[in-house]
Amino acid sequence: MRGRVGGSKIVVVIVDDHELFAQGLALLLTREWGELFTVGGQTTYVEEAADLVAGCDADVAIIDLTMPPLGGVAAIRHVKARHPRTRILALSGTDDLTLAEEALRAGADGFLPKTARPEALAGPLWTIAEGLCVVDSAVLHALLSNTRRPPRRCWTPCPTRTCGCGRCWRPGWRPPTSRRGCWCPNAPPSGWWPHYYTSSA
């Protein structure tokens, strides 16, 4: 990683209701990567996020998603509405993929779980500040898998069990041809395996 042209530092703000985590992260950024980042401030309140960004003209805001009562997604919307150029890294200590998706749709430029080592955040922060997006690989695979998977209500058990695993599902609708698609959930994280069987019905 390198600093910005002209030697200016990346201004970071932290929005997190866990004060010990926020203070520890601020200290880590200042001590270990002080040549790249400067912490412009931190708050434990969602309502103060947009004003905090404005007060120091922050380049990146780190926002915890599980902040009561409004939640981190609301903070992301407020910041993006008032300061669209500020980049946002969303963090969460839960495995709620719906929350991660909501954060990305609200305007977050990256998402990482809080289980990630704090010292591993420097790279993603720099990458986001440079205009790219960062998403944890496990979260990305899960989101893509859910996107590819048809609604369960549209599927019925596959009587032929083409792949032999016994856990296939086929669509409850019939395509124009006699070939019906069968999807097997017993697949690698990258997606579902398609199987086909021929029906004369």
Stretch 44-55: mean pLDDT: 96
Stretch 143-151: mean pLDDT: 64
Q: Using the predicted structure, report yes or no on whether residue 56 has a pLDDT greater than 90.
A: yes
Q: Using the predicted structure, report yes or no on whether residue 116 has a pLDDT greater than 70.
A: yes
User: Taking a C-beta distance cutoff of 8 angstroms, is the pair 169, 155 a contact?
Assistant: yes
Beta carbons within 8 Å of 183's beta carbon, 6+ residues apart: 149, 150, 155, 168, 169, 170, 192, 193, 194, 195
User: Taking a C-beta distance cutoff of 8 angstroms, is the pair 72, 46 a contact?
Assistant: yes
Neighbouring C-beta atoms of residue 144, cutoff 10 Å? 13
Q: Tell me what pLDDT residue 191 has.
A: 41
Whole-angstrom Cα distance, residue 61 to residue 89? 6
pTM confidence score: 0.70
User: Taking a C-beta distance cutoff of 8 angstroms, is the pair 42, 62 a contact?
Assistant: no
Q: Tell me what pLDDT residue 192 has.
A: 41
Q: Tell me what pLDDT residue 68 has.
A: 87
Distances (CA, A) of 102 to 13, 59, 64, 96: 21, 22, 13, 10
* Nearest alpha-carbon partner for 61 in 108, 113, 118, 12: 12
What is the torsion angle, in degrees rounded to the nearest 10, for the CA atoms of residue 75, residue 112, residue 132 and residue 53? Answer: 30
Residue-wise pLDDT tens digits, 70-109:
899 999 999 999 999 999 999 998 888 889 999 999 999 9
Handedness of CA 73, 75, 79, 81 (dihedral sign): positive
pLDDT confidence of 150, banded at 50, 70, 90?
low
Q: What percent of the chain has pLDDT over 90?
A: 52
